[in-house]
């Protein structure tokens, strides 16, 4: 790498860590002559900073695009139609042949830390700003929730990651952090979500329905604890969410994803998009529609053919499962596409579908999993949950033979999760959590090794601070 490239890389990283004008989503400097750290003086400034953190979540580097490849296409659920599209960066992720130079990995890593930087800036500055205490607590809770969610994604994708809990005026101080051990990152995630739950309101704001509330933080905390294998702790937290009555199980699977039902009774947290405002729409229709097709997009914009369901997934659905037609669409030429989160765009990459990150059915099914892990026999309450999910899907209840042993029930539960949460960025993480990723992916011919369960750290990050940033093993 040339000196010029190193300087350019370092300058870009400075932007990511300090919030200067290289940001694509939010110019947080109201005056170009005034430093970012001095600009957060009013409630309006803080509100703008909070919105900036959400915009990082919705951007292409996170839920608006890249996460689909890292969390869904990476799994056995879907694939990219053309492995050479965008110079092969998507195909390499799909086929487990990515390197540290993959641009998508670099973009997603930097996008996550951009979001964390925005959260940290608000959290560091908010106490000095005069505003109503309830509003201040709400904004603090929201930023802790977003930071916890982002670190949860980072640690599951890369393992040890730099843990920054404050904004850095000097980015070179941040470079010295190096990679924090997984256990310490999880400890911070737990702390963030517990604090968020104590600060956030108990009910949704009618004007900000997409903002997390106390039980949103508790629900995500339950998922974190389950992922860590802290089953008793997760059970208690998830039970609290269930008993709160904050959310409810919707009767219709299709209604969960209908754009007329955004932020519905089952939704715990979803990324907000709107086709009514330029650049605030979602790109899913254009990303998911098979290459060259017009049925999905109405001919508006290009089509990329990503996140297409595998034949194995298509054939795995039980006959009569209504979730199949809700999740998967078909073209006259026989090609299939992800139908969930898709509405026709009004402009290229501008449609109205939100992306659901966490919903109540997940809480119920995680609770069932924790019941199973903490008891010596298959709990009847866990069986009732899975049969409730199956009933909504139009399927018959599990038989006694299928639920006789813990292993058989666990297999049935994980199988049910695959269909229930197809294309919701859950599958790869479910395979990792249950220890089934190698077995499942190699059964479909991927021939992967254990080190590939984590992604390589982007080369740009290694170049910035070679003394403290080390690559994941075997990359």
SS3 231: helix
pLDDT of residue 450: 97
Dist. CA 216–CA 392, nearest whole Å: 23
Do the domains at 1-200 and 226-267+357-446 have one common CATH topology? yes
pLDDT of residue 97: 96
Dist. CA 277–CA 164, nearest whole Å: 33
Question: For 1-200, CATH number?
Answer: 1.25.40.390
Instruction: Give the residue-averaged pLDDT of 433-453.
Output: 96
pLDDT of residue 175: 78
pLDDT of residue 33: 31
pLDDT tier at 36, thresholds 50, 70, 90: low
Q: Do residues 64 and 107 touch, judged by C-beta distance below 8 A?
A: no
pLDDT tier at 376, thresholds 50, 70, 90: confident
pLDDT tier at 1, thresholds 50, 70, 90: very low
pLDDT of residue 401: 66
Percent share of the chain, pLDDT over 90: 85
Sign of the CA dihedral running 231, 236, 239, 240: negative
Q: What totals of helices (H) and strands (E) does the chain contain, helices first?
A: 20, 6
* pLDDT of 122 over the 50 cut: yes
Give the pLDDT confidence of 191-226 residue by residue, as tens digits: 999 999 999 999 999 889 899 999 999 999 999 999
Give the pLDDT confidence of 381-395 residue by residue, as tens digits: 999 999 999 999 999
Instruction: Give the residue-averaged pLDDT of 144-162.
Output: 98
Give the pLDDT confidence of 346-358 residue by residue, as tens digits: 999 999 999 999 9
Q: Do residues 413 and 386 touch, judged by C-beta distance below 8 A?
A: yes
Q: Tell how strand 328-330 and strand 355-359 pair up.
A: unpaired
Lowest-pLDDT range, 228-232, 257-261, 356-360, 398-402?
398-402
pLDDT of residue 172: 76
Q: Record the pTM.
A: 0.92
Give the pLDDT confidence of 39-68 residue by residue, as tens digits: 789 999 999 999 999 999 999 999 999 999
* pLDDT of 456 over the 60 cut: yes
pLDDT of residue 2: 32
Lowest-pLDDT range, 21-30, 168-177, 417-426?
21-30
**Hey, what are 174's tokens?**
């941040």
What average pLDDT does the chain have?
Answer: 91
In DSSP terms, 55 is beta-bridged to none
Instruction: Give the residue-averaged pLDDT of 178-198.
Output: 98
SS3 118: helix
Dist. CA 9–CA 14, nearest whole Å: 9
Is the CATH code 1.10.3720.10 the one for domain 226-267+357-446?
A: no
pLDDT of residue 29: 32
pLDDT of residue 37: 61
* pLDDT of 6 over the 90 cut: no
* pLDDT of 259 over the 80 cut: yes
pLDDT tier at 141, thresholds 50, 70, 90: very high
Measuring CA to CA, which residue among 149, 231, 137 is closest to residue 190? 149
pLDDT of residue 44: 95
* pLDDT of 345 over the 50 cut: yes
Give the pLDDT confidence of 315-339 residue by residue, as tens digits: 999 999 999 999 999 999 999 999 9
Give burial (CB, 10 Å; 0-12/13-18/19+) of 108.
buried
**Hey, what are 136's tokens?**
């201040």
pLDDT of residue 51: 96
Measuring CA to CA, which residue among 424, 419, 414, 435 is closest to residue 369? 414
* pLDDT of 270 over the 50 cut: yes
pLDDT tier at 176, thresholds 50, 70, 90: confident
* pLDDT of 287 over the 70 cut: yes
In angstroms, the first-to-last Cα distance of the chain is 19
Domain boundaries, the chain: 1-200, 226-267+357-446, 284-353
Instruction: Give the residue-averaged pLDDT of 13-22.
Output: 35
């Amino acid at each position: 790498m040339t000196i010029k490239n190193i300087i350019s890389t370092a300058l870009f990283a400075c932007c990511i860590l300090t919030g200067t004008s290289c940001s694509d989503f939010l110019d947080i400097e109201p005056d170009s002559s005034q430093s970012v750290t001095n600009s957060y003086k009013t409630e309006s400034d803080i509100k703008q900073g909070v919105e900036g953190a959400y915009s990082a979540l919705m951007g292409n580097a996170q839920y608006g695009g890249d996460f689909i490849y890292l969390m869904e296409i990476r799994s056995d659920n879907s694939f990219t139609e053309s492995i050479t599209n965008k110079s092969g960066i998507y195909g390499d992720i799909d086929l487990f042949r990515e390197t540290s130079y993959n641009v998508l990995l670099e973009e997603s890593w930097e996008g996550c830390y951009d979001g964390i930087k925005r959260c940290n800036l608000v959290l560091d500055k908010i106490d000095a700003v005069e505003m109503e205490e309830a509003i201040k607590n709400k904004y603090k809770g929201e930023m802790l929730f977003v930071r916890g969610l982002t670190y949860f994604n980072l640690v599951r994708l890369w393992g040890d990651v730099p843990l920054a809990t404050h904004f850095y005026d000097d980015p070179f101080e941040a470079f010295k952090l190096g990679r924090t051990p997984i256990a310490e990152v999880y400890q911070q995630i737990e702390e963030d979500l517990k604090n968020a739950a104590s600060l956030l309101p108990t009910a949704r704001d009618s004007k900000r329905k997409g903002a997390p509330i106390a039980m949103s933080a508790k629900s995500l905390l339950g998922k974190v604890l389950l992922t860590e294998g802290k089953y008793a702790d997760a059970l208690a937290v998830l039970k609290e969410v269930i008993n709160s009555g904050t959310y409810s199980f919707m009767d219709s699977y299709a209604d969960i994803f209908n754009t007329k039902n955004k932020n519905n009774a089952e939704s715990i947290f979803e990324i907000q998009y709107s086709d009514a405002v330029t650049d605030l729409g979602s790109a899913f229709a254009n990303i998911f529609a098979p290459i060259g097709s017009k049925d999905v997009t109405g001919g508006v914009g290009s089509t990329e053919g990503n996140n297409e369901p595998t034949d194995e997934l298509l054939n795995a659905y039980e006959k009569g499962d209504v979730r199949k037609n809700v999740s998967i669409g078909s073209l006259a030429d026989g090609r299939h596409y992800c139908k969930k989160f898709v509405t026709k765009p009004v402009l290229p990459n501008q449609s109205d579908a939100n992306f659901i990150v966490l919903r109540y059915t997940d809480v119920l099914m995680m609770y069932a999993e924790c019941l199973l892990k903490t008891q010596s026999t298959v709990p009847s309450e866990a069986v009732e949950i899975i049969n409730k999910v199956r009933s909504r899907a139009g399927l018959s209840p599990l038989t006694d033979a299928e639920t006789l042993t813990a292993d058989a029930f666990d297999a049935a539960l994980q199988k049910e999760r695959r269909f229930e949460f197809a294309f919701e960025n859950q599958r790869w993480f479910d395979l990792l959590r249950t220890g089934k990723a190698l077995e499942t992916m190699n059964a479909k011919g991927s021939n992967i090794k254990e080190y590939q369960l984590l992604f390589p750290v982007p080369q740009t990050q290694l170049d910035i601070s070679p003394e403290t940033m080390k690559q994941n093993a075997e990359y």
